[in-house]
Amino acid sequence: MQRVLAIYPGSFDPVTNGHLDLIERGSKMFGRLTVAVLRNDGKAPMFTLAERMEMLRESTGAFPNVEVDSFEGLLVDYARRVGARILLRGIRAVSDYEYELQMAMMNRRLEPGMETIFMLPAEAYSYLSSRLVREIAQLGGAVTGLVPPAVEQRLRERVTQVR
Ligand code: PNS
């Protein structure tokens, strides 16, 4: 699938080593991979869209066929606009499956030509989520090894700003 463009969408608030594991796997499988960050102001993210994109750019610099973009509105509309037919999502555990199935089916209904491809992150990241990383950082715990060092630093700064 060397000429295929795939989109890896998400909130990335913030990017974790689990996301990066998937990005690396996706970058080997597809010709180009666009990490598309949702501008989800409604969810009151910890990091602004610009910060989330910056952290992603910093941590995906080693992958020449990966780029970082943002979108708002329907994912399928964004995918159509950039000419992608493949959506990449990660499934960590059975508990992810129901939500992911619902989203994939709905996206297919909205845009029948759209295919969702699921990949599994490394086992070590099967319990990792941005939500838990934010919670641990907010409560003063260590997130070393769960996120890239630069993200760890930003989390520390954000948490001390808030306190
Ligand atoms: O990292 P997340 O928060 O699990 O990612 C969810 C995301 C961004 C993939 C999903 O919320 C999304 O696609 N939102 C855009 C709006 C949309 O298309 N909604 C219909 C999905 S069926």
What is the CA(163)–ligand 1 centre distance, in A? 31
Q: How far apart are CA 135 and CA 118, in angstroms?
A: 26
Query: Cβ of 1: how many Cβ atoms within 10 Å?
Result: 10
List, for residues 47-77, the tens digit of each pLDDT value. Answer: 999 999 999 999 999 999 999 999 999 999 9
Render 20-48 in DSSP notation, one character per residue.
Answer: HHHHHHHHHHSSEEEEEEE--GGG--SS-
**In this predicted model, what pLDDT tens digit does every residue of 111-151 receive, in sequence order?**
999 999 999 999 999 999 999 999 999 999 999 999 999 99
Atom 9, ligand 1: which residue's CA is nearest? 10
What is the value of pTM for the model shown? 0.96
Residue 127 class from Cβ within 10 Å (0-12 exposed, 13-18 middle, 19+ buried)? Answer: exposed
Ligand 1 mean position, distance from CA 155 (Å): 23
Quick one: which of 163, 123, 131 has its CA closest to 147?
A: 131
